[in-house]
Amino acid sequence: MNCTLEKVNVLTVLILLFCNCVIGKDPNCSDDNSVESFKGEFLGNKQEALLERILSIEKQLQTCQHNNAVMEERIRKLEDNEYDSERGLNRPVRATTQVAFHARLRKDLTSIGVNQPIVFDDVTLNNGNAYNSGDGIFITPVAGVYVFALSIMVVREHHIHITLASTDGVIGNIYVDDGQFTFNSASNVFLTRLNKGVHVWARKAEANGNFLHSGFSTISGFLLFE
């Protein structure tokens, strides 16, 4: 609307000046040269104004392009952060509760009965106090994934079968045969998910075998994550 009014006003001025020159009321417009001079000056001013306007638009365009590039970079970073966050949601959460224990036999065990719990009474680590050296039972303080390890040693001409048991069922087994060496040993690692309050212990599984060597027969476990 403003541009239209401006054009109308300019046209009106030109018409009035032309008419004024034709009827001879303005002594400065007595001939055609004066009219042409006025038109040239007027058009020259309009060209300068138009050039300034074009330069201003070019600057605004450059600013918009810069702002657009900055915005695209911000969007890319936000998308990358969102992707990393989604990946992080699928990663296992590390345990916030510190639970770990390690114990070994203080002395050799002989005459072990079937299903008799193996009490590893020499405790070297017991973070969380979940292992009881009095009865050899570990009680899970929280639900989560746990790792247990058993190592047993026997002397020559002895063998034994040990089960890692729980109130939820058998977790795993370990067996040492009676080889021809002075000492024979075996180890195994078990990974399992347990609820809170589950009892875990090692016990003799079969009637045969009645010896465990102290020091080298150990049990350990820890909470991997909740």
SS3 105: coil
Q: Whose CA is closest to 212, among 189, 190, 185? A: 185
- Average pLDDT of the chain is 79
Q: Whose CA is closest to 154, among 164, 166, 162? A: 162
Contact between residue 142 and residue 99 where contact means Cβ atoms under 8 Å apart: yes
Q: Which are the contacts of 119, defined by CB distance < 8 A and separation ≥ 6?
A: 133, 134, 135, 136
pLDDT tens for 148-164 read 999 988 876 677 889 99
* Domains of the chain by residue range: 2-89, 100-225
Q: What is the pLDDT of residue 15?
A: 53
Contact between residue 146 and residue 195 where contact means Cβ atoms under 8 Å apart: no
The CATH number of 100-225 is which of 1.10.3720.10, 2.60.120.40, 2.60.40.420, 3.40.50.1950?
A: 2.60.120.40
Query: Higher confidence at residue 146 or residue 204?
Result: 146
Q: Please give the model's pTM, rounded to 2 decimal places.
A: 0.57
pLDDT tens for 19-77 read 554 444 444 444 555 556 655 665 667 677 777 878 888 788 888 888 888 888 888 88
DSSP at 92: P
